[in-house]
Chain A
Amino acid sequence: GNSVTQMEGPVTLSEEAFLTINCTYTATGYPSLFWYVQYPGEGLQLLLKATKADDKGSNKGFEATYRKETTSFHLEKGSVQVSDSAVYFCALSLLDGSGNTGKLIFGQGTTLQVKP
């Protein structure tokens, strides 16, 4: 079936450290892939997306590359800030015979804490 697996958290980093949050997926066909971010007490916000293999999504210094060979979509940032502290969710779009269904499957989320 379709699923998304993220690395377990929490991830604790010092400011300006390099961030990687791993995400792998199992899916039929070639879904679109997403990273969402949730700040404390808020809903999820779309951070970046990639719609086909080898696409790189980027936003606010975060990047992720759609790797079909390894079924992965790892999130990276070169230098994290305290304001990046949040929960990060990897997600994929479900496909049916006619393409995207509009439904998403989410990973369990990874909490990032950045210390000054």
Chain B
Amino acid sequence: DAGITQSPRHKVTETGTPVTLRCHQTENHRYMYWYRQDPGHGLRLIHYSYGVKDTDKGEVSDGYSVSRSKTEDFLLTLESATSSQTSVYFCAISGPTSAPYEQYFGPGTRLTVT
């Protein structure tokens, strides 16, 4: 199994509070991704990173920001949590081949915004 951990695994927070989710990898892979999983929508890409300090938006990036200050960590921040951000969040990594399309997923974080 790819060495990917996510923390916390479960979190309940109130509307309007900031929340940060952490993804940590031990594989030294270049690419990292944040997805959210909601019933009927499959997985949707929030943000991704193609290297330290290099990030870009996915299809559902509004209300989220990311940071990657070192290869192994990719942080997702909900700047002011809303109930619509209640979801399961997955981190994924890929690499080190030249065609980085095969992704490996972490165990997920279940976030509930009340």
Contact = CB atoms under 8 A, between A and B. Distances in A.
Interface of A: 4, 32, 34, 36, 42-46, 49, 89, 93, 99-100, 102-104, 106-109
B42 A108 contact: yes
Interface string B43-62: 11100101000000010000
Interface stretch (B11-19, B79-87, B102-110): B102-110
Given A44-B43, A109-B42, A104 B106 contact: no
User: Which applies to chain A's interface (DSSP): helix, strand, loop or mixed?
Assistant: strand
B94 interface: yes
Nearest to B100: A102
Given A36-B105, A43-B107, A107-B42, 13 more contacts: A4-B42, A32-B101, A43-B4, A44-B92, A44-B105, A89-B42, A99-B99, A100-B99, A100-B101, A102-B101, A103-B58, A108-B40, A108-B41
A34 B102 CA distance: 9
Contacts of B90: 43-44
Nearest to B4: A43
Nearest to A93: B101
Contacts of A108: 40-42
15 contacts: A42-B108, A43-B105, A43-B107, A44-B43, A44-B90, A44-B92, A46-B102, A49-B102, A99-B99, A100-B99, A102-B31, A102-B48, A103-B48, A104-B43, A106-B43
Interface of B: 4, 31, 33, 40-45, 48, 50, 58, 90, 92, 94, 99-108
B56 to A, nearest CB: 9
B103 to A, nearest CB: 6
A34 B103 CA distance: 10
